[in-house]
C-alpha cells in the first residue's frame, strides 16, 4: 500500500470511528459524513502536496453506513454440550481484537460487529477448549458463494486461539492456488507475518500493524510457497507442547499431505496409547479442524451398510480423504470440526450413524448447522438473476449479456462446443481467434478498469474470468487467443492505428455502460453508489495506460496464481484469468469485473460454486458484466429461486427449534433440491419425498395438442364432479383495508378422491422434477389415510388480456391468463411463475390471513434488524407463501390449524398470446391448463418413493 492509499485508509478509519459515536446521537447523513471526513483529514494531513480526495472518502463511508446484515439462523443439538462462552472469557482476547480492528479499516463497523456476533455463535457451539475429559463437536456453517466465509473462519480461528485451542488445522481445498490464497489470508488476519521456508516469522503484515507483540505470535507449520504445504521431514523438528502458543496448519485435502500430517500427529504429538484399541492419542491439546469447501472431497462417497438396529458396518472402508480427515480427528480426545460451504447438500446427506473403528464417526454436522446471513451489499444469485413472480423474473441487475457465437448453430462444432476433447482446437470463422462476444467482453473489461481508475479504485485489483473448458490443452489455445486479442486491442488504442476500434469502444461505453450505470443506481441505491458521472473523453484518456497494465494468466492450480494479488501492492493487478476446474471452487478472483462463462454442469452445488461473479463489488457493481448463454441464465435463475426457498425453510425450522438431523431429513425429502452428485446422495436407494409445507406449480407445459386436450378434459371432468361453484365469476375476500378482487370460480369442501383422480389423469412433463402428477396423487392419498388433506378448495383462475374460455356446463371465464413465454424452448410451453401468495391465501379466513401477515412481518423485521433507519423498511402488506402454509398447518392464537384442507389452483393459459415460436401453440384456441397445489405444514411424516438412478443424474437438466 502506497503512502497516498494509506492516508486514505487512515482517514476513512478515523472518520468511521467518529461517525460511530455520532450515530448514538442521531442519523448519519452525507453532510455529517462530509464533516467527519474533513475533520479526520485535517488530523491526518501528512506530508503530501496532493489534496486529499474528500469526495471518494465520502462515497466510501456512505456505502459503509448504508450496509446492514440480518441475523444468522441456527439448528443445534446440545446433547453433552456445556455452555461456556461469556463476556468474562473474552475480556483479554488479543487475536480477535487486532483482527477486528484490521477489518474495520476496510469494512463498516456494523458488518464487523455482525461478524463478531456470528463467530461468537459458532465458537459457543463448540466445546470449551479447557474442558477436561473426552468431547467431540461437529458442525457446519453455510454461507453464500463468495460472501466472506474466509473472514468468518479467520475470525473463528482468532477466537479459538484466544480461548485456548492449541492445534488449528485448516483444510483449504484441493489445489495449491487455493491453499496458498487461504494461507495468505490467515497470515494477514491471524499470524501477522509472512511465512517463509525457514518457518521463521517474516515481514509483519496485516494484523501486525495493530498489535505486533512477538509474545503472541502463533506458530505456523505451512507457508505461502508453492511447496509450502505440510511436510513431515520439516515438521519432525517442531516442538509441540501444551504451554506453547497455538499452531496453525493450512493444508490441502490431498492424500500425501494428510497422510504425513496424521503420521506426524501420531509420532510427535500423541502423548498416550488407548489401552483397548492401541491407538496413539493426543490428550493434552484440544484440536480445531476447519474444513473449507466441506462438501468437496471431504464427503465419503462410499456406501456404508447400516443394519436394522442402526449399527454401522465397522469394516467399511471410507474414501481416502474422508478417512484421513476422520483419522486425524480420531487421534485427539478433545476435538471440534467445523465445515464451511455455500452448498451444503452433500454434507447433510452423510449418514448420521456412519462410524468405523479406525476412523471414528463420520463428518455429519450433528452438533449444529448455522446459516450465515449475508450483508445487504452482497451481490448473490437473487440480486443478479432476480426471483420468479407471476409477471416473470424481475428485479435482477442488468449485467447479463447473452452469447451464442461460441458454438455453430448450423453445423456441429464451433469455437467451443458443449462436448469437446482435449484435442479440440477452438476455431472462429475458420481461424484460431476468439469469437466476437469474447472480443467484446475483453473490451468491456478494459472499460471497467478505466472507470475504476477514474473512481479512485486504481490501487485495487481488477479481474476478468474466462471459463469455457475444463481441459488444460484447450485452455492453452484459449489463452493464446485471448493474448492475441488483447495485443490487437492495445495496439489499436495506444497507436491509434484503427479509428474504427475507437468508435466501437465509444459505442460500447455510451450504449452499454452509461445506461447500465443509471439502471443499477436505481436498483441498488440503498447498498452501492452513488456513481460519479464519467464522460467518454475521460475513459478514452485513461484507456492506453490501463491496457498496458492488463496481463493474461492461465490458472493451472499453482500457488503463484494466488500470490500475484498479494505481491502487487503498489498498484492494483489487472488480470484476465483463463481456466477451468481450478477456477470452479474456492479461489477468489479479486475485483472480478467481467466474466465470460460457457461451461455447463447439471448439479446445483457445482454450478453455484462456478459462480465466481457472486460477492462484493463496492462502488463498481454497475461496471460488472456476465457474458453467458441463455441456458445458463435460466439455470442460475432457477437456482436463485430454489436457494431462497431452502434458506426460508431453514429459518422456519430454526424458529421451531429443530435439530441438524431434522434438517437433513427435510432436504432429503424436498421435491426440488435434488442438487448434488448421486454418489454423495447415496442414490442406489430410492428417495423418499414429502410435499408437506410446499407450494408446487407447473412452469413448463407440453406443447402437443393431444396432451393439452387430455389435461383440459381432465379439468372438465373435475369441474363436472365438483358441481356448482360457491363463488365467481368475480368475488372479493375480506382482507381489512387491503382490497382484493379475484376473477374466476371457487369450489369448497371437495372430497379428496376427486382431487386424487384429477392428478391421476393430468399429465406433467416427464423432466418436471417440481411437479410430478403421479407422485402428488399418491402423496395426497397417503396423507388422507392419516386424516389430513381430506377436504379441498379448488380455484379456477381468471385473468386479463387473454381470450374467453368455456368449461363444462357452460362455465365461462371472460379471459384466460397470459404469461411471458421462454421463446428459446420450442419443445415446451415454459414461463416464470404461475401463482402468487395472493392465490395461496384464497381459502383463508381473515383472522388466519392476519396471523400469516403478522408472521411474515415478524420475519421481515428479524431479517432487517440491523437496517440503520427503520423508516426505510417497507412492511409487507400481504403474507408470504411460507407464512401462509405455516399458519394453515400449525395455526396461531385464535386460529385453528387446517391440515385437513388442501388447495388446488387451476390456471387456464391462452397459448395464442404466448409469444411462442411454436405454431401448434399459437394456433390453439382452447386453454392450456397449468396447475398449482399448496400443502399446509405437517408433521405426519408421509413420504412417497421417488426412484433416481445414475442415468437420470447424468441426463439431469433444468428442473422445468
What is the CA angle 530-532-537, rounded to 5? 155
Report helix, strand or coil for 799: coil
953 CB burial (10 A radius; 0-12, 13-18, 19+):
middle
Note down the domain range covering 794.
Answer: 691-843+900-942
DSSP string covering 354-410: -EETTTEE-----SEEEEPPPBTTEE-HHHHH-EEETTEEE---S-EEE--TTS-SS
**What pLDDT is attached to residue 1?**
54
**What pLDDT is attached to residue 783?**
94
* Whether residues 619 and 718 fall in one domain: no
Q: What distance in Å separates the CA atoms of residue 880 and residue 940, rounded to the nearest whole number?
A: 23
Is 223 part of a structural domain of the chain?
yes
* Whether residues 466 and 539 fall in one domain: yes
Report helix, strand or coil for 310: coil
Least confident piece of the model among 242-251, 351-360, 670-679, 760-769 = 670-679
For residue 59, which of 563, 456, 524, 617 has the smallest C-alpha distance? 456
pLDDT tens, residue by residue, 250-298: 999 999 999 999 999 999 899 999 888 888 999 999 999 999 988 888 8
The CATH code of the domain that includes 219 is 3.40.50.300
Question: Would you say 945 and 686 are in contact if contact means Cβ atoms under 8 Å apart?
Answer: yes
**Pick the residue with more confidence: 774 or 959?**
774
Per residue, the 3-state secondary structure of 119-169, as one string, reads HHHHHHHCCCCCCCCCEEEEEEEECCCCCCHHHHHHHHHHHHHHHCCCEEE
Q: What distance in Å separates the CA atoms of residue 572 and residue 301, rounded to the nearest whole number?
A: 42
Is 671 part of a structural domain of the chain?
no
Q: What distance in Å separates the CA atoms of residue 85 and residue 25, rounded to the nearest whole number?
A: 32
Number of other residues whose CB lies within 10 A of the CB of residue 616: 18
DSSP string covering 427-458: -BTTBSS--HHHHHHHHHHHHHHHHHHHTT-T
* pLDDT averaged over every residue in the chain: 83
Number of domains within the chain: 4
For residue 481, which of 426, 548, 443 has the smallest C-alpha distance? 426
What is the CA angle 437-443-445, rounded to 5? 105
Rounding to the nearest 10 degrees, give the CA dihedral for residues 160, 162, 164, 170: 30
Least confident piece of the model among 125-129, 384-388, 807-811 = 384-388
Q: What distance in Å separates the CA atoms of residue 402 and residue 404, rounded to the nearest whole number?
A: 7
**What pLDDT is attached to residue 9?**
81
For residue 493, which of 503, 483, 484 has the smallest C-alpha distance? 503
* Whether residues 333 and 473 fall in one domain: no
Is 516 part of a structural domain of the chain?
yes
List the end-to-end C-alpha distance of the chain, in Å, as a whole number.
50
Unique residue bearing C-alpha cell 462515497: 59
**What pLDDT is attached to residue 672?**
40
- DSSP β-bridge partners for residue 829: 701
* Whether residues 447 and 347 fall in one domain: no
- DSSP β-bridge partners for residue 293: none
Q: Is residue 181 predicted with pLDDT exceeding 60?
A: yes
Question: Would you say 613 and 384 are in contact if contact means Cβ atoms under 8 Å apart?
Answer: yes
Q: What distance in Å separates the CA atoms of residue 668 and residue 348, rounded to the nearest whole number?
A: 8
Phi, psi (degrees; rounded to nearest 5) at 332: -115, 140
For residue 195, which of 218, 162, 176, 215 has the smallest C-alpha distance? 218
Question: Would you say 425 and 554 are in contact if contact means Cβ atoms under 8 Å apart?
Answer: no
Is 107 part of a structural domain of the chain?
yes
* Whether residues 727 and 760 fall in one domain: yes
Question: Would you say 646 and 670 are in contact if contact means Cβ atoms under 8 Å apart?
Answer: yes
Alpha carbon 885 to chain centroid, angstroms: 25
**What pLDDT is attached to residue 56?**
79
User: In this structure, are strands 829-830 and 700-701 parallel, antiparallel, or unpaired?
Assistant: antiparallel
**What pLDDT is attached to residue 372?**
87
Unique residue bearing C-alpha cell 393459459: 909
Least confident piece of the model among 163-167, 554-558, 904-908 = 554-558
* Whether residues 596 and 742 fall in one domain: no
Q: What distance in Å separates the CA atoms of residue 595 and residue 615, rounded to the nearest whole number?
A: 13
Where does the pLDDT of residue 844 fall: very low under 50, low under 70, confident under 90, or very high at 90 and above? very high
Is 584 part of a structural domain of the chain?
yes
**What pLDDT is attached to residue 174?**
83
Q: What distance in Å separates the CA atoms of residue 404 and residue 214, rounded to the nearest whole number?
A: 57
For residue 752, which of 785, 775, 728, 727 has the smallest C-alpha distance? 785
**Over residues 48-72, mean pLDDT:** 74
For residue 369, which of 115, 661, 675, 145 has the smallest C-alpha distance? 661
Q: Is residue 539 predicted with pLDDT exceeding 70?
A: yes
**Over residues 690-718, mean pLDDT:** 90
* Whether residues 341 and 429 fall in one domain: no
- DSSP β-bridge partners for residue 652: none
For residue 433, which of 473, 474, 485 has the smallest C-alpha distance? 485
* Whether residues 291 and 160 fall in one domain: yes
Question: Would you say 158 and 277 are in contact if contact means Cβ atoms under 8 Å apart?
Answer: no
Q: Where are the beta strands (DSSP E) in 823-935?
A: 829-830, 901-909, 928-934
Where does the pLDDT of residue 678 fall: very low under 50, low under 70, confident under 90, or very high at 90 and above? very low
Cell of 677: 452428485
Q: Is residue 406 predicted with pLDDT exceeding 50?
A: yes
Q: Is residue 668 predicted with pLDDT exceeding 50?
A: no
* Whether residues 92 and 21 fall in one domain: no
Taking each helix axis from N to C terminus, what angle separates 30-43 and 54-66, rounded to the nearest 10 degrees? Answer: 130
Element (H, E) at 287: strand 287-292
Where does the pLDDT of residue 347 fall: very low under 50, low under 70, confident under 90, or very high at 90 and above? low
* Whether residues 391 and 461 fall in one domain: yes
Q: Is residue 376 predicted with pLDDT exceeding 80?
A: no
Q: What distance in Å separates the CA atoms of residue 73 and residue 118, rounded to the nearest whole number?
A: 10
Is 894 part of a structural domain of the chain?
no
Unique residue bearing C-alpha cell 356448482: 724
Residue count of the chain: 960
Q: What distance in Å separates the CA atoms of residue 32 and residue 688, rounded to the nearest whole number?
A: 58
695: Cβ contacts below 8 Å, ≥ 6 apart: 835, 840, 881, 885, 932, 933, 934, 935
**Over residues 889-907, mean pLDDT:** 95
* Whether residues 735 and 763 fall in one domain: yes
Q: What distance in Å separates the CA atoms of residue 696 and residue 923, rounded to the nearest whole number?
A: 28
Q: Is residue 8 predicted with pLDDT exceeding 90?
A: no
628: Cβ contacts below 8 Å, ≥ 6 apart: 400, 401, 402, 403, 595, 596, 597, 598
DSSP string covering 648-663: HHHHHHHHTT--HHHH
DSSP string covering 178-198: HHHHHHHHHIIIII-B---TT
* Whether residues 61 and 77 fall in one domain: no
Where does the pLDDT of residue 958 fall: very low under 50, low under 70, confident under 90, or very high at 90 and above? very low
Least confident piece of the model among 216-230, 383-397, 589-603, 920-934 = 383-397
Cell of 179: 491453499
Cell of 866: 440491523
Q: Is residue 548 predicted with pLDDT exceeding 50?
A: yes
Is 440 part of a structural domain of the chain?
yes
Q: Is residue 344 predicted with pLDDT exceeding 90?
A: no
Cell of 897: 390449524
**Over residues 547-565, mean pLDDT:** 73
Report helix, strand or coil for 728: coil
Is 666 part of a structural domain of the chain?
no
Q: What distance in Å separates the CA atoms of residue 143 and residue 373, rounded to the nearest whole number?
A: 7
Q: What distance in Å separates the CA atoms of residue 316 and residue 682, rounded to the nearest whole number?
A: 15
Number of other residues whose CB lies within 10 A of the CB of residue 63: 17
Amino acid at each position: 500500500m502506497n503512502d497516498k492509499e494509506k492516508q486514505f485508509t487512515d482517514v476513512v478509519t478515523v472518520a468511521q470511528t467518529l461517525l460511530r459515536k455520532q450515530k448514538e446521537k442521531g442519523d448519519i447523513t452525507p453532510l455529517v459524513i462530509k464533516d467527519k471526513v474533513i475533520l479526520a483529514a485535517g488530523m491526518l494531513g501528512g506530508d503530501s502536496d496532493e489534496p486529499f480526495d474528500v469526495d471518494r472518502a465520502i462515497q466510501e463511508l456512505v456505502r459503509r453506513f448504508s450496509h446492514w446484515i440480518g441475523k444468522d439462523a441456527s439448528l443445534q443439538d446440545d446433547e453433552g454440550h456445556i455452555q461456556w462462552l461469556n463476556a468474562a472469557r473474552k475480556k483479554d482476547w488479543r487475536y480477535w481484537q487486532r483482527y477486528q480492528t484490521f477489518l474495520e479499516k476496510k469494512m463498516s463497523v456494523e458488518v464487523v460487529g455482525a461478524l463478531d456476533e456470528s463467530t461468537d455463535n459458532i465458537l459457543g457451539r463448540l466445546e470449551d477448549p479447557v474442558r477436561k475429559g473426552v468431547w467431540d463437536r461437529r458442525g457446519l456453517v453455510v454461507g453464500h458463494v463468495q460472501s466472506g466465509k474466509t473472514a468468518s473462519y479467520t475470525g473463528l480461528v482468532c477466537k479459538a486461539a484466544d480461548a485456548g485451542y492449541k492445534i488449528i488445522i485448516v483444510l483449504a481445498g484441493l489445489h495449491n492456488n487455493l491453499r496458498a490464497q487461504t494461507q495468505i489470508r490467515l497470515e494477514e488476519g491471524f499470524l501477522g507475518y509472512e511465512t517463509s521456508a525457514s518457518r521463521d516469522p517474516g515481514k509483519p503484515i496485516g494484523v501486525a500493524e495493530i498489535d505486533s507483540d512477538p509474545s503472541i505470535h502463533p506458530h505456523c507449520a505451512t507457508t505461502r510457497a508453492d511447496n509450502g504445504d505440510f511436510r513431515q521431514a520439516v515438521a519432525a523438528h517442531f516442538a509441540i507442547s501444551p504451554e506453547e502458543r497455538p499452531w496453525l496448519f493450512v493444508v490441502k485435502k490431498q492424500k500425501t499431505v494428510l497422510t504425513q500430517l496424521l503420521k506426524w500427529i501420531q509420532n510427535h504429538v500423541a502423548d498416550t496409547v488407548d489401552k483397548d484399541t492401541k491407538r496413539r492419542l493426543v490428550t493434552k491439546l484440544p484440536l480445531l479442524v476447519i474444513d473449507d469447501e466441506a462438501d468437496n472431497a471431504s464427503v465419503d462417497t462410499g456406501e456404508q451398510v447400516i443394519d436394522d438396529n442402526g449399527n454401522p458396518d465397522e469394516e467399511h472402508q471410507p474414501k481416502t480423504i474422508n478417512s484421513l480427515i476422520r483419522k486425524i480427528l480420531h487421534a485427539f480426545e478433545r476435538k471440534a470440526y467445523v465445515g464451511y460451504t455455500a452448498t451444503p447438500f452433500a454434507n447433510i446427506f452423510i449418514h448420521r450413524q456412519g462410524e468405523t473403528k479406525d476412523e471414528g464417526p463420520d463428518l455429519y454436522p450433528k452438533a449444529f448447522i448455522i446459516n450465515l446471513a449475508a450483508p445487504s451489499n452482497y451481490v448473490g444469485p437473487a440480486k443478479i438473476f432476480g426471483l420468479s413472480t407471476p409477471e416473470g423474473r424481475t428485479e435482477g441487475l442488468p449485467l447479463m449479456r447473452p452469447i451464442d457465437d461460441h458454438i455453430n448453430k448450423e453445423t456441429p462444432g464451433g469455437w467451443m462446443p458443449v462436448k469437446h476433447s482435449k484435442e479440440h482446437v477452438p476455431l472462429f470463422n475458420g481461424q484460431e481467434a476468439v469469437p466476437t462476444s469474447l472480443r467484446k467482453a475483453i473490451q468491456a473489461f478494459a472499460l471497467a478498469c478505466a472507470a475504476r481508475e477514474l473512481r479512485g479504485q486504481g490501487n485495487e485489483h481488477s479481474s476478468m474470468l474466462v471459463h469455457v473448458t475444463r481441459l488444460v490443452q484447450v485452455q492453452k489455445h484459449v489463452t493464446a487467443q485471448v493474448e492475441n486479442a488483447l495485443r490487437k486491442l492495445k495496439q489499436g488504442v495506444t497507436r491509434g492505428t484503427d479509428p474504427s476500434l475507437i468508435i466501437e469502444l465509444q459505442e460500447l461505453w455510451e450504449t452499454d455502460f452509461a445506461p447500465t450505470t443509471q439502471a443499477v443506481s436505481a436498483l441498488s441505491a440503498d447498498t452501492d453508489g452513488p456513481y460519479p458521472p464519467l464522460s467518454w473523453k475521460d475513459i478514452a484518456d485513461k484507456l492506453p495506460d490501463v491496457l498496458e497494465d492488463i496481463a493474461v494468466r492461465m490458472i493451472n492450480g499453482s500457488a503463484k496464481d494466488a500470490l500475484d494479488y498479494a505481491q502487487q501492492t503498489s498498484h492494483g493487478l489487472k488480470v484476465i484469468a483463463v481456466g477451468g476446474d481450478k477456477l470452479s471452487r474456492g479461489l477468489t478472483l479479486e475485483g472480478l469485473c467481467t466474466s465470460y462463462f460457457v461451461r455447463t454442469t447439471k448439479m446445483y452445488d457445482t454450478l453455484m460454486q462456478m459462480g465466481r461473479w457472486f460477492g462484493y463489488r463496492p462502488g463498481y457493481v454497475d461496471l460488472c458484466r456476465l457474458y453467458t448463454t441463455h441456458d445458463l441464465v435460466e439455470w442460475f435463475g432457477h437456482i436463485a429461486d430454489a436457494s431462497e426457498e431452502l434458506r426460508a425453510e431453514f429459518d422456519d425450522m430454526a424458529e421451531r427449534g429443530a435439530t441438524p438431523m431434522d434438517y437433513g431429513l427435510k432436504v432429503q425429502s424436498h421435491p426440488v433440491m435434488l442438487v448434488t452428485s448421486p454418489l454423495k446422495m447415496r442414490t442406489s436407494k430410492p428417495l423418499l419425498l414429502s410435499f408437506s409445507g410446499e407450494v408446487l406449480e407447473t412452469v413448463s407445459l407440453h406443447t402437443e395438442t393431444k396432451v393439452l386436450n387430455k389435461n383440459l378434459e381432465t379439468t372438465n371432468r373435475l369441474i363436472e364432479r365438483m358441481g356448482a361453484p360457491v363463488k365467481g365469476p368475480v368475488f372479493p375476500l375480506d382482507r381489512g383495508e387491503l382490497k382484493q378482487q379475484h376473477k374466476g370460480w371457487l369450489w369448497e369442501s371437495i372430497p379428496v378422491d376427486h382431487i386424487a383422480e384429477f392428478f391421476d389423469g393430468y399429465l406433467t412433463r416427464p423432466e418436471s422434477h417440481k411437479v410430478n402428477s403421479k407422485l402428488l396423487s399418491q402423496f395426497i392419498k397417503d396423507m388422507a389415510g392419516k386424516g389430513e388433506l381430506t377436504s379441498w378448495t379448488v380455484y379456477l383462475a381468471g385473468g386479463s388480456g387473454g381470450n374467453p374460455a368455456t368449461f363444462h356446463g357452460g362455465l365461462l371465464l371472460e379471459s384466460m391468463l397470459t404469461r411471458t413465454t421462454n421463446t428459446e424452448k420450442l419443445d415446451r410451453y415454459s414461463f416464470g411463475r404461475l401463482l402468487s401468495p395472493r392465490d395461496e391465501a384464497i381459502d383463508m379466513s381473515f383472522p388466519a390471513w392476519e396471523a400469516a401477515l403478522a408472521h411474515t412481518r415478524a420475519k421481515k423485521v428479524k431479517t432487517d434488524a440491523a437496517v440503520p433507519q427503520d423508516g426505510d423498511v417497507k412492511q409487507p402488506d400481504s403474507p408470504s407463501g411460507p407464512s401462509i402454509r405455516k399458519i394453515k398447518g400449525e395455526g396461531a392464537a385464535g386460529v385453528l390449524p387446517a391440515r385437513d384442507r388442501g388447495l388446488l389452483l387451476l390456471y387456464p393459459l391462452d397459448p395464442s398470446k404466448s409469444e411462442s415460436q411454436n405454431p401448434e401453440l399459437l394456433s390453439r384456441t382452447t386453454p392450456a391448463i397449468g396447475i398449482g397445489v399448496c400443502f399446509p405444514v405437517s408433521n405426519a411424516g408421509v413420504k412417497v418413493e421417488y426412484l433416481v438412478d445414475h442415468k437420470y443424474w447424468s441426463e439431469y437438466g433444468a428442473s422445468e
